[in-house]
Amino acid sequence: MPKKGFIPNKLRPWIEARKKYHLSHAEIQMARALGMNPKKLGGMANHKQEQWKAPLPEYIKYLYEKRFGKQTPDDIRPLEKIEAEKRKKKAQNKLNRNGNDISD
């Protein structure tokens, strides 16, 4: 059974990108919905050398609104919370399956 604070490897790059580029949970959730690669965010980020580029958070919001027609996701949750809920649901389903097998 995974530890309480366990973060799967597929989410770690997103958490690192959130810290590195100072993005909010909503902006990370929008970038994931857009199918962006967290390793490629550095090329989209404005490092103040390219004045014509929009800052990364604004760019993500612009693309999200253009594609989905709304400013932010309906339900904004941190990645850690989403993963914890998935693990809890999976454990509950496992208990339900094992409980039903015994009574049958």
pTM score over 0.95:
no
pLDDT at 101: 57
Amino acid at 49: Q
C-alpha to C-alpha distance for 93 and 91, rounded to whole angstroms: 5
pLDDT at 104: 46
Percentages (nearest 5) of helix, strand, coil residues in the chain: 60, 0, 40
pLDDT at 27: 96
Alpha-carbon distances, residue 67 vs 6, 20, 40, 54, 71 (angstroms) = 32, 25, 19, 18, 10
pLDDT at 62: 96
- For the chain, 104 residues long, the average pLDDT of each consecutive 10-residue run is 72 93 95 95 85 91 96 90 89 87 51
pLDDT at 28: 95
